[in-house]
Structure 1
Amino acid sequence: MTDLLKRLEREPCDSRHSLEEVLANVRFNGDGLLPAIAQQHDSGEVLMMAWMNREALEETLRTGRVYYYSRSRAKLWRKGESSGQQQHLKSASLDCDGDTLLLQVEQTGPACHTGRRSCFYLSLEADSARISSAALIDPDELYTKGS
């Protein structure tokens, strides 16, 4: 944990600090990435986890549209750019260690590339794995719509 994050532990509610200073103390991993959990702002439903680099985080904060970093494509991507299923940022919070981000979002349609509302649809139980939600949109149809 950085000295800044340690110092912020003792700060009172509603105290304000330099965004640049806080971002400089974010603990991106060795690849320059930070796990970002997207949660529906009004229901609390956890929608997905993806990776952000600093550029994705800054673009998200600047524009209010959620950007991630695609490890498979090695580039920045705006959620919904190919599916049309956008995420609009309501709030962003860094955890106490500075190594995980929680995004409160307004999700348009399904968040998952499978066409499901949430990426967390495979329930692991004592003796089996169960599909716990149906697709809202056929994945083949989802990616023909565009943004």
Structure 2
Amino acid sequence: MKQTNEEGSWLDAVKWDADGLIPAIAQDVHTQRVLMVAWMNREALSLTAEEKRGIYWSRSRRKLWRKGEESGHVQVLHELRLDCDADVVVLMVEQLGGIACHTGRQSCFYRVFRDGQWHVIDPVLKDPNQIYEHKHE
């Protein structure tokens, strides 16, 4: 894929789905661990590149959300990657506060399939009620 420098043309290289979205994988820049998967629209991807932080599109709330705006656990962008089919992005991030998942764990991928069932392998680092308490008044 050729490199482009024109304003917006890098966004045109992305293959958006029928809803104008692309899956976004947040991966820890230091450990390479997958932290979470979310969705981005064109504005979220553009703002992520501009602000150098994880900004996503909430399908349930139908609005942009800056990772950490409620929890304080911000994702600092180090690198943005587009896959070979141009339909998935990977954000190489530094996860401030160490918690990416709304369950209070480091990663949303805290269950492993073993012996025919799912086992929780990662501890809760902080009670989600404490993380989001100021938003539930």
Taking structure 1 as the reference length, the TM-score comes to 0.85
Query: Counterpart of 2:114?
Result: 125
In the other structure, the counterpart of 2:69 is: 81
SS of 2:43 mapped into structure 1: helix
CA distance in 1 between partners of 2:93 and 2:119 (Å)? 27
Match of 1:56 in 2: 44
RMSD: 1.4
Q: Distance in 2 between matches of 1:84 and 1:105?
A: 15
Are 1:17 and 2:4 matched, yes or no? yes
Shift of 1:25: 2.5
SS at match of 2:132: helix
Residues 1:47 and 2:35 are matched in the alignment:
yes
User: Following TM superposition, by how much is the alpha carbon of 1:145 offset from its aligned partner in structure 2, in angstroms?
Assistant: 5.6
Q: Cα offset for 1:65?
A: 1.6
Cα shift at 1:18 = 2.4
**1, 18, 42: which is aligned to 1:30?**
18
SS in 2 for 1:50: strand
Contact 1:35-1:99 at 8 Å conserved across structures: yes
Q: Can you give the 5+ residue segments of structure 2 that lack an aligned partner in the other structure?
A: none
Deviates more, 1:84-93 or 1:125-134: 125-134
Pairwise CA distance, 1:74: 0.3
SS in 1 for 2:14: coil
Per-residue CA deviation, residues 62-107 of structure 1 (Å, 9 max, x unaligned), is 0112100000100000000011111010000101111000100010
Mean CA deviation greater in 117-126 or 131-140 = 117-126
Count of matched residue pairs = 133
Percent of aligned pairs with the same amino acid: 47
